Amino acid sequence: MKKLKLTIEGMHCASCAANIERAVKKVKGVKDVVVSLMTHKCFIEIENADEEEIKKAIKKVGYKIADIEEE
Amino acid sequence: MSAEEHRHMSEHHHDIPIEEKEMNSWRKKMFLSWILVIPIAVLMLSDRLFGIKIFEENIMRIIILILAFPVIFIFGFRTIKQGINGLFTFYFNMDSLIALGTVIAYATGFLSIIGIVQDYSGVSAMIMAFFTTGKYVESIARGKAGQEIRKLLHLGAKKARILRGNQEIEVNISEVRIGDIIAVRPGEKIPTDGIVIKGESAVDESMISGESLPVDKKKGDTVIGATINQDGILYIKATKIGKDTFLSHIIKLVEEAQGTKVPIQKLADKITSIFVPAIIIVSVLTFFFWFYFTKDASRAIGIAISVLVIACPCALGLATPTALMVGSGIGAKNGILIRKGEAIQTMKEVRTIIFDKTGTITKGKPEVTDIISEIDEKDFLKIAGSLEQVSEHPISKAIVNEAIKKKIKLIGVKNFKVERGRGIKGNVKGKNVLIGNRKLMNNNKINYRKYENKIIKLEDEGKTAIIVSANRKVLGIIGVADDLKPDSVEAIRRLHQNRYRTVMITGDNEKTARAIALKAGIKEVIANVLPEDKEKKVIELQRRGMVAFVGDGINDAPALKQANVGIAMGTGTDIAIESGDIVLVKGNLTGVVQAINLSKATFRKIKQNLFWAFFYNIIAIPLALLGTLNPVVAEIAMATSSVTVVGNALLLRNKKI
């Protein structure tokens, strides 16, 4: 189990946050996603997931990843 | 990504906070949009209001189309792109509505040249200009909402002065290692968590705990990174660095809390998720309805655009997170960390508050108050202290401290053994020494009847009586008391004033427990509870309604989890903090009262916000459907609704807790 903390740019409404949650959840190996609209943070719990797939999913719904931290 | 790359990336992006970046970007878009929209407005209004035609009609249309183009497709590029992208991928967002509304309105400009419909291209530019203005104001307000939390992020020291040999060298905070000795001069920030090895000073910890009075620090005391050394030079040894420091933990808790859900928000979330496609459908139907009944395509398009731009789930979506953010920000400033949004809502239902005794109501640092012995007091303490020095129990520490205070030299012990929940035994100077409570004496058939009255007297005073025996003969008893925290009485009084039921739970015997509870003002006591049974007692109390549990120890974790709201003392163990829904950094009972007030105020704000957001949509959408709102007015109303919700959340900052 690994935890990622992403900083996301371009999120400005609740549906943005919900969309990112929905898109990331679909990536294989993602256990939990929580997106905070207010802090621009996205917390992801993964197990054997491809991080590139997650990045792609977020980009596909139209948002930019400003930073990735591993916890 | 390598660690190096990663660090580089973080540093780069942390230079300008993302909130500020977005605010600047909206401001730029707003100004540029208005520069073009003002001439458009002049052209349009002089025609419509005064009938003055500055240019010939088709030329004017072309001029407006040219002026409006950058407003929508350059300054509005991100919005249009996101919105259209959302339409095609079925990840609808509120940009989808604005994008559709403005692009359709712009397109009417071309259609109007061939004379099919009225020209809405100027209107489309105005909508975008008001949209960016609304977004700009909203981003300022959102930035304010997050101010307290952002302050935490920048609280940490950037540099540290570490000792290398006899030299002090200044290094970046990231270069400090555990075990480094750091010199902190008066007025400087303590760079990281550590322990004082030399020097004495008062330290201002208000930024971490909300405690306004400075705390005295001397050799052996722990200090927290980011607090400010006030008057003396302190030499500290770094014990925690980077992500493990207390400040980092606080930041993590607060940040993670922002992503947690408040249950009341669920309905709003559901509505938001179907809102955009539903409005698109409604808008299309509106167009056909009006076109069918009025045969006026221009009017039908205008109304359909109004519906698109006025219906914004944004206010609904912002209602909860902004209030939660402002609430947690105020909390963090006062040393109250809300870890789960749900706790805010549950707190409203809580009527019973259960307190752990030791370390929660009391200081958790017992002290020796009475020594009753039939042998010389020094000899007595030497025997007791020598055996107790091997144990980690707080009571043992109290006895050892007392011996040290009286300058008694302690000696080694053999065959030390802990009898859990009873006491300890071992061999001191060839004597079989047993120290503990009645149970220990009874189990070993040692007669302590001579002291029974004195034991009862100590217990009536809220003290714990420790019986000391050597070679099966009682030598005397030691009274140990754990004082109340200074604010416990006042905090309990305030809870009673607000008609909360308070219960104290403890492993102590009934008498001692009752005496402490009486001092604190708590009426109900559950005594003699084994650590593993605290959770069961919470379940029993839950039969009569929702409860909050306030505790600090490792053995409190299950009870904190079981309670409807778990309030953990930040001064306690990491495990207790991890189990709490709310963490009190200062670790006193006033914090409980404040946490309750803050939760209630935040939840009220969320409810207000949701009400206004729903109210806005319920009124505005029908008005637009009926064709009573001009598209530009619709956009102004939409922008106002979002700004109002965020602004209302900001009012929470004036709340005294």
A2 touches chain B (CB under 8 A): no
pLDDT score for B568? 94
Inter-chain residue contact A38 with B258, CB threshold 8 Å: yes
Which secondary-structure segment (H or E) carries B644?
helix B631-650
Residue-wise burial string across B245-281, b where 16 or more C-beta atoms lie within 10 A, e elsewhere: bbbbbbbebbbbbbbbbbebbeebbebbbebbeebbe
Q: Minimal Cα–Cα distance from A45 to chain B, Å?
A: 12
B450-499 pLDDT per residue, tens? 999 999 999 988 898 999 999 999 999 999 999 999 999 999 999 999 99
A52 touches chain B (CB under 8 A): no
Q: B612 with B593: CB under 8 angstroms?
A: no
N- to C-terminal Cα distance for chain A? 10
User: What whole-number distance in Å separates Cα of residue B500 and Cα of residue B195?
Assistant: 40
Inter-chain residue contact B258 with A36, CB threshold 8 Å: yes
User: What whole-number distance in Å separates Cα of residue B541 and Cα of residue B391?
Assistant: 34
Residues of A in contact with B273 (CB under 8 A): 15, 18
Q: Minimal Cα–Cα distance from A3 to chain B, Å?
A: 12
pLDDT score for B555? 80
Residues of B in contact with A19 (CB under 8 A): 86, 91-93
Of B10, B93, B258, nearest to A16 by CB-CB distance is B93
Residues of B in contact with A9 (CB under 8 A): 18, 21-22
A36 touches chain B (CB under 8 A): yes
User: What whole-number distance in Å separates Cα of residue B277 and Cα of residue B411?
Assistant: 80
User: What whole-number distance in Å separates Cα of residue A62 and Cα of residue A59?
Assistant: 5
Inter-chain residue contact B13 with A67, CB threshold 8 Å: yes
What ipTM is given for this predicted complex?
A: 0.87
Inter-chain residue contact B259 with A66, CB threshold 8 Å: no
A43 touches chain B (CB under 8 A): yes
Of A5, A18, A61, nearest to B269 by CB-CB distance is A18
pLDDT score for B2? 42
Pairing status of strand B222-223 against strand B524-526: unpaired
Inter-chain residue contact B275 with A15, CB threshold 8 Å: yes
A17 touches chain B (CB under 8 A): yes
Give burial (CB, 10 Å; 0-12/13-18/19+) of B56. Answer: exposed
Residues of B in contact with A71 (CB under 8 A): 243
* Annotated catalytic residue B552: no
Closest residue on chain A to B8 (Cα): A67
pLDDT score for B10? 43
Inter-chain residue contact A39 with B1, CB threshold 8 Å: no
Size of interface A-B (CB pairs under 8 A): 103
User: What whole-number distance in Å separates Cα of residue B226 and Cα of residue B524?
Assistant: 40
The SS3 assignment for B223 reads strand
Q: Which H, E and C letters describe B377-402, residue by residue?
A: HHHHHHHHHHHHCCCCCHHHHHHHHH
User: What whole-number distance in Å separates Cα of residue B326 and Cα of residue B650?
Assistant: 7
User: What whole-number distance in Å separates Cα of residue B570 and Cα of residue B315?
Assistant: 35
B35-62 pLDDT per residue, tens? 999 999 998 888 878 877 778 888 888 9
Question: Which of A13, A33, A65, A71 should be substituted to probe chain B, the one whose Cβ sees the most B Cβ atoms within 10 Å?
Answer: A13
Q: Minimal Cα–Cα distance from B621 to chain A, Å?
A: 19
Q: Which tokens in the block code for residue B579?
A: 């189990």
DSSP string across chain A: -EEEEEEEES--SHHHHHHHHHHHHTSTTEEEEEEETTTTEEEEEESS--HHHHHHHHHHTT-EEEEEEE-
Residue B59 to residues B52, B62, B64, B113, Cα–Cα distance (Å)? 14, 5, 9, 9
Integer-rounded Cα Rg, in Å, for chain A is 11
Q: A64 with A49: CB under 8 angstroms?
A: no
Q: B201 with B231: CB under 8 angstroms?
A: yes
Residues of A in contact with B81 (CB under 8 A): 62
Q: Minimal Cα–Cα distance from A29 to chain B, Å?
A: 20
Residue B591: other Cβ atoms inside 10 A: 28
User: What whole-number distance in Å separates Cα of residue B247 and Cα of residue B25?
Assistant: 31
Catalytic residue among B180, B204, B356, B552: B356
Q: Minimal Cα–Cα distance from B370 to chain A, Å?
A: 50
Question: Which of A8, A15, A40, A63 should be substituted to probe chain B, the one whose Cβ sees the most B Cβ atoms within 10 Å?
Answer: A15
Sheet holding B193-198, edge to edge: B167-172, B159-164, B181-184, B234-240, B193-198, B222-223
Residues of A in contact with B85 (CB under 8 A): 61-62
Question: Helices B94-113 and B57-70 sit at what angle, rounded to 10 degrees?
Answer: 150
Q: Which tokens in the block code for residue B642?
A: 């979002």
How is residue B353 annotated by DSSP?
Answer: E
Inter-chain residue contact B272 with A18, CB threshold 8 Å: yes
The SS3 assignment for B573 reads coil
Residues of B in contact with A67 (CB under 8 A): 9-10, 13-14
Across B243-303, the runs of DSSP E, i.e. the strands, are none
Shortest CA distance to B67 belongs to which of B102, B34, B37? B37
**What's the length of chain B?**
657
DSSP string across B422-484: TEEEEEETTEEEEEE-HHHHHHTT---GGGHHHHHHHHHTTPEEEEEEETTEEEEEEEEE-PB
Residues of A in contact with B149 (CB under 8 A): 39
A55 touches chain B (CB under 8 A): no
Closest residue on chain A to B91 (Cα): A19
Give burial (CB, 10 Å; 0-12/13-18/19+) of B483. Answer: middle
Neighbouring C-alpha atoms within 13 Å toward the C-beta of B223? 36
pLDDT score for B15? 63
Q: Minimal Cα–Cα distance from B321 to chain A, Å?
A: 7
Closest residue on chain B to A62 (Cα): B82
The SS3 assignment for B207 reads helix
For chain B, which residues score pLDDT lower than 50?
1-13
Of A5, A22, A67, nearest to B91 by CB-CB distance is A22
Residue-wise burial string across B10-27, b where 16 or more C-beta atoms lie within 10 A, e elsewhere: eeeeeeebbbebbbebbb
Inter-chain residue contact A19 with B275, CB threshold 8 Å: no
Residues A54, A56, A58, A61, CA torsion sign: negative
CATH of A2-70, one of 3.50.50.60, 3.40.50.720, 3.40.50.620, 3.30.70.100: 3.30.70.100
Residues of B in contact with A54 (CB under 8 A): none
Closest residue on chain B to A35 (Cα): B259
Shortest CA distance to B335 belongs to which of B194, B146, B206, B217? B206
User: What whole-number distance in Å separates Cα of residue B394 and Cα of residue A71?
Assistant: 35
Which secondary-structure segment (H or E) carries B309?
helix B297-310
Inter-chain residue contact A14 with B13, CB threshold 8 Å: no
Residues 6 or more apart whose CB falls under 8 angstroms from that of B625 comprise B282, B286, B303, B307
Residues of B in contact with A22 (CB under 8 A): 91
User: What whole-number distance in Å separates Cα of residue B121 and Cα of residue B108?
Assistant: 6
Residues of B in contact with A5 (CB under 8 A): 255
Q: Can you name the residues that pair with B184 across neighbouring β-strands? A: B234
Q: Minimal Cα–Cα distance from B486 to chain A, Å?
A: 37
Q: Minimal Cα–Cα distance from B150 to chain A, Å?
A: 9
pTM: predicted TM-score of the whole model, two decimal places: 0.85
Sheet holding B431-436, edge to edge: B367-373, B473-481, B464-470, B431-436, B423-428, B413-419
Pairing status of strand B234-240 against strand B193-198: antiparallel
Q: Name residue, tokens 């903390």.
A: A5
Inter-chain residue contact B321 with A41, CB threshold 8 Å: no
Residue B190 to residues A63, B66, B175, Cα–Cα distance (Å)? 38, 59, 15
In chain A, where the domains are located: 2-70
